[in-house]
Amino acid sequence: MVADLIAKIHSGALPPGALVSSGPALSKQYGISYQTVVRALGELVERGWLVRRQGRGTYVAPHPPRESAAEAFAERRTVLLALDPQSLIRGRFGYPIAVSLDEALTHAGLRVRYAPLSEAGENALLEELAGGGAGPEAAALLVGLDRPLFLARARRRCPHLPMLAVHGAPDGFGTPREPHTDAILVDDRPGARVAGGLLVQAGHSKIGFLGGPRDDPRARSRYDGLCEALKDAGLKPRAAVWGSAWDEEAGREAAPELLDALFEDAAPAAVFCANDRHASGLYDTARERGLRIPEALSVVGFDDNDLAAGLDPPLTTFRIDRDAYGRQAALLVVQRLAQPNLPPQFQRVPVKRIDRASIRSLAT
């Protein structure tokens, strides 16, 4: 929004003294929150582009700043958010991250363009970038959400294009294979270690793991964190089962094998699930077998997605602050554009424990 208003002032579409649309109208026009509009307008007032007139509205300044062509071009650079279309469905993990990214980047004066990474769309996008087909306002940065293989292909095709791996797997980012890619990741391993410690403190020694695909570095990091917590207590996982995906159905498919291993005897058991959707699938299978949660089976999840609080009983889990995730990612983008020669930047988003009712304490 900031960049677009500046462009309209430059072009004369918004001449000096012109009334700027109201906050609600701009919110609807640009598809961003009213709070973001207020912050953006405040920034333009501070920079001398706009003036406020009490009780009358916001107007283009009589003498807006004169910037060089290079500065004007910088204001209009475009950030590509290269996303799996599923990421933009409300309720999915990536949706609030994408919204937060969009708002933070817009507030920073950058244009945001979505590039859905459908199977057919990946090659078309790579060809567009490699051929400079994005037009005179060519993409200044490509941001991928959880698509490490695509980012690797983009890096080979466009070696000089700044890139940021948003929620990218740690393997391959910051290593010699991808030396120029910034990354922002969830604090998977430390969070999982706390989850394991929580179950140990509750008196559990028969603890299992239900994870995402075995070759997914995030699932491995969460498993490793659990193992570290159990090792500190002189324990190891009783069983570990890996799902074929990260959804509820994968959790339901993997749960029978895990429960068979945990309930060779009748003693209470506990499971750390690598995400809440797996936990939901585990709940279903436990219910079918007559295993009550948490009386017979304690469960801890990860993510605090839209399912967790609605499960019966509500799921104890670890929350990822998606809004903070998007803001931190946007800050990395802005830093990279301002200082292209910085070494690769990496940040991790911490997780917060959310206590609910899915853990039974066996401690006396």
- How close are the terminal C-alpha atoms of the chain, in Å? 59
Dihedral angle sign, alpha carbons of residues 325, 329, 335, 338: negative
Pick the more confident residue, 200 or 49: 200
Q: Coil, helix or strand for 29?
A: helix
Backbone angles phi and psi of 25, in degrees to 5: -65, -40
Residue with structure tokens 């570095």? 217
> Looking at residue 285, what is its pLDDT?
97
Distance CA 140, CA 117 (A): 18
pLDDT tens, residue by residue, 71-95: 443 445 788 888 877 777 776 777 8
Measure the CA–CA gap between 8 and 77, rounded to whole angstroms: 15
Token digits for 234?
């002189």
Q: Which of 2-6, 61-65, 84-88 has the largest mean confidence?
A: 61-65
**In this predicted model, what pLDDT tens digit does every residue of 332-358 receive, in sequence order?**
888 888 778 888 888 889 999 999 999
Nearest Cα to 208, choosing from 231, 181, 236, 185? 236
Q: For the chain, which domains are there? A: 2-69 (1.10.10.10), 71-186+322-349 (3.40.50.2300), 188-320 (3.40.50.2300)
Distance CA 12, CA 306 (A): 46
Cβ contact 242:212 at 8 Å: yes
Residue 31 confidence (pLDDT): 64
Task: Give dist(CA 62, CA 69) in Å, integer.
Answer: 20
State the amino acid at position 248 in one-letter form: E
pLDDT tens digits along 297-330: 999 999 998 899 999 999 999 999 888 888 898 8
Specify which of 55-69, 108-122, 188-202 reaches the highest per-range mean pLDDT. 188-202
Note the pTM of the prediction, 2 decimals.
0.74
The predicted model gives 170-186 an average pLDDT of 61
CA angle (267 as vertex; 300, 280 as ends), nearest 5: 30
User: 187-196, 213-222, 268-277: which range is least confident on average?
Assistant: 213-222
Write down the pLDDT at residue 359. 98
pLDDT score at 168? 59
C-alpha distances out from residue 255 to 12, 169, 217, Å: 63, 25, 21
Asked if pLDDT for residue 32 goes beyond 90, the answer is: no
By three-state DSSP, how is residue 7 classified? helix
